Each structure stands twice: as C-alpha cells, then as structure tokens.
Structure 1
Amino acid sequence: FDGVEIHGAHGYLIDQFLKNGINDRSDEYGGSLENRCRFLSQIIQAIASAIGPDQVAVRISPSIDHLDAMDSDPIGLGQFVVTEINRLERVMGGRLAYLHVTQPRYTASSKTGSAHKREKQEEHLLGMLREGYSGTMISSGGFTRENGMSAVADGETDLVSYGRLFISNPDLPYRFAVNASLNKYIRATFYTQDPVVGYTDYPFLHQGGGQDERGTKSDTESENRVGSFGWVLSKL
C-alpha cells in the first residue's frame, strides 16, 4: 500500500474518544478537548514515526452523530483537531498526506426541533477547517456534481471524494469528464458476501450503462447526475 488513512470518524473507536457526547472518561483521555484528542494524536505520531508523516492521513467527522457519537460543539471540536494536526506536523517535521473530513448526509439530530439552527451553524464548517488546516484537505459526504465543484471553487476543500457512486460506476472519472449520468447503486448489495453481484457487475458507460452529454440513453440511466471530474484530476 502507499499509505495509511487513520479512521477517526463515523462513530468508531477514535471518534468515540473525540466526542463529548459519548466519551465519559475521567482520566487523561476524557473531559477537555486536549484530553479527548490525545488518543488520536498518539496514534498519528506512532504511525508517522514508523512510515513517515507523508504516508499518513486522518479522517474525521466532527458534525456526524453516527452510532450516537455526537459532540456538543462540532465546530469547536473540528477546529481543535485541525490545530492539533498542524502542531503535530511541525513537531514531526513534515505534513500528513491529507486531512479527510466527512460532512453528514443526515444526522440523528435532524429529527429534533433545534436541528435547523445547528445545521445553519455548521453550514460553513468545511470552509473553516480548510482555512485552518495548513495541508491538503479532502471532503466527502453525499456530494453531487454541483455542490462538489462549488465546494472546491469556493475554497471549502481542495478535493472531493465519492464512495457509493464509485461502487456502481467503475468508470466514474470518465463519466464525470463527459458529464454522463450514472448507474444507480443498489444499497442492499453493499454489505454482502457475493464477490460479483453489486460489486463487479455494474456496466461501464460504453457497455450501455448511462447517458453521455450527447444524450445517448440506456436502460440503466440514473436519476442522479454528476459532472466533470477534471477539476479533481487537475489538483493531483
């Protein structure tokens, strides 16, 4: 492999240390932001010392409350983590490969009456983290062509990553480049043991899976449209 992305997001172990809504420890790993970030900091330093910081990346999701891992101040948490990573990069004498920030497609708190106010406050979280981080930042989380390109153009992130769309579209970069529609992904096949169905059986555009910018349609035309991937390739 070329590097390691430390998964400090989505309610898993590291994220459980970061979020004060689930971290109820009373030792040096709980309480203050510094303490809650300590576990992640130690992991970053340990892996970077083994393979070099330029082969290490970190993924965080300060505003996502998946698996009940939520924080009372996602903006403050995100900004502190970014500040800490900047500090670690100075100590280690090199930058990480990138910082990967996932924004929520939806949150459990969206069902509450205070959700709208909180969502408005977090609307510009990506931009604030991009402004605060000294290295390269990748963002993900339900992006479409329009808002993905806008996020880059507006300086909210350097790159945008896609997951589900890549599963159902093996030629996703080409489809983006020619503004083709996409194969619909089938969520029911995401976490199954079949090595083919839902993994390697989605058609390429030239096999009839989609519609290009000339309007040539196929039976598997998607309702979802995304566009040019050139802006991503030009950043690499």
Structure 2
Amino acid sequence: MPVCLNEALLKKDEESMKGLYIVTPDWDDTAKMVEVTEKALKGGAEIVQYRHKTAGPQLRLEQAKALQAVCKKYNKPFIINDYVDLCLELDADGIHVGGMDAPVKKVRAAVGPDKIVGASCYGDLNLARSATHDGATYVAFGGFYPSRVKKYPVTTPLDIVSEWKKEQPDMPVCVIGGMDVEKGAPLVAKGAEMVAVVSGVYFQDDPEAAAREFVKLFK
C-alpha cells in the first residue's frame, strides 16, 4: 500500500476536504463568476476551484484574485486549476492538476508541504496510488456521467470509490463528471468525501438553492 508523503497535511485538511466542491466554468465575465460563486458559498459550498482553460494571463489573475477574496470572506479553501505559478503568486490554498498537467511530485515540491494538492485520476487506481505516494492531498475520480462542460469518455465505474476507500480509507476522494444530486448520492454512499460540480450550480437559475441541495448529500 502506498504511503502518503503528507500525512500531517491530510490530517490538517481532513475537515475541509469534505462537501460540495464547485469548479468555475470558462466565463470571461468576472463579476458574474464571483456573484454565482458567492451564492454557492452562501448555499454551503465548501471548496472553490478556479478553472478557466481559455483565459489569458491577465484575465486569470483578475478572476483568481476576485474569487480568492470571496473565499476568504467565507473562510473556504480556494484552489487553482493547473497554474502552479498563479497559485504561488496569490498564495492560494492549493492546486489541482490533471493527467496532462505537471506531475504531482513536481507540483508538491513547488508548492511545499502546506498547500492542498488535488490530482485527477480519472478511472485509474494506479494513478491514484501514484498521486497519493507523491504527495496529493486528495484524489479525484471521473467522469462518471456525461458532462455539459467537458467532453470525455464516460468510463469510470462507480465502484472505484469503494475499492479505493478499502485500500486508502484516509485519502479523501472527489468525484466529478455530470453530477447532480441524484447521481452524486450513490458515490457519496460509497465513500466519496467531495462532489465536484460545474453546471449543477453555475448554470442553475438559483445557484444558492442548488448548492443547498448538494449539501444535503453530506448530512
């Protein structure tokens, strides 16, 4: 069984690594992004990840600063997707990397022992093992269902969560991919600590109410 290099960090973040995990869409409208994010935080979202794959450096910096401020207001972790340099510049709470981004080991070395490092592991337990060994704070599995935002093969089996929790019960799991409350429920029942959502909150008429419905999964 792999040994996590950051057991102290895992213990420290055990409480914060649970609940509704919102991920921003590719919106260029910063005010709208911040407004909807704040509504979701009012509804009980626990973690915010800034992800905007088409933004240029200036817009990324502008949006990340604005989102970080609202996360500080609600005392919730603020995670940057992919851009380690931006994470360090803003002293964000953490970074999330995918399979095509920098390796977890390299990212952990860059950000140090105190930041959250999340790793996309898709439907691959070996990727999750490697990420855990190399210093990830949590692993993310998916996609489980078709997404309105991202195109990917929907091949991740639901049982991967329970398989992983048998192997690594203390390593937090985030699930992603086409999530709504009904689809997230069985994954939380199998042991997922976090449900990551984009359209299920950001594209809803009432993001605060949508967030509250997701929060019920964890009570």
TM-score, normalisation: structure 1: 0.40
Q: Which has the larger radius of gyration?
A: 1
- Structure number with the higher strand fraction is 2
The higher-RCO structure (CA 8 Å, 6+ apart) is 2
